Structure 1
Amino acid sequence: MTHASEDPRPRSLAVDIGSTARDTARERVGRVMAYEGGRMWLRPLGGGCEWAASPEDVEPVTLSESLGPLVAEANRRSTEPR
């Protein structure tokens, strides 16, 4: 567990673990899972493999912005054979 005094994030970064964020370098939206080794780890909102991003490339997204990928994933799953 990272304590406040050991927080590796730049002070200007306002993206907390568990929040939804956009990786502007990859144009992907995901949930912030961890900060490790100077990188942020994000996971796609619909699940899947995490990816590492530079904290400078990550910005918070609004609730309405985060709903788009969730709806797209739900639509994709609804068309899969059961």
Structure 2
Amino acid sequence: MSVEDGPPSEQKPPQVPSTGTMLVDTSRRDRVGEFRGVTGPYWSLRPVCGGTEWEAEPGSVREPSPIERLRAEMSRCNARSEGRIL
């Protein structure tokens, strides 16, 4: 039995990612954001194209799939080319 298969009391808490790491918040319809820091028991994420940060529970956050990462990076590039973000 692996640690992930055990009861919740045996599961390790998620490791805190580096600032700027792209993550997906599954509790917000798979919204992609960049990790900004820890706020109490929550992780602060910011939209890839800028905007208001939100707090996510670490258990509902995962790494993006390759296609999710590509879409987010393309959105950021498009926003920069349109002058919406620097």
- Per the shorter chain, which TM-score range? 0.5 to 0.7
Equivalent position of 1:49 in the other structure: 52
Alignment map for 1:1-80 (pairs within 5 Å): 11-18=12-19, 19-26=21-28, 27-62=30-65, 64-75=67-78
Gaps of 5+ in 2: 1-10
Gaps of 5+ in 1: 1-9
The two structures have a TM-score, normalised by structure 1, of 0.67
Higher mean alpha-carbon deviation, 68-77 vs 32-41, is at: 68-77
Matched AA of 2:55: A
Larger RCO (alpha carbons 8 Å, 6+ apart): 1
Aligned-pair identity in percent equals 32
Q: Select the structure of larger CA radius of gyration.
A: 2
Structure 1 CA distance for aligned equivalents of residues 16 and 71 of structure 2:
19
The two structures have a TM-score, normalised by structure 2, of 0.64
More helix by share: 2
Q: 1:12 to 1:37 in 2, by over 3 A?
A: closer
Local SS of the residue matching 1:17: coil
Paired residues in the alignment total 71
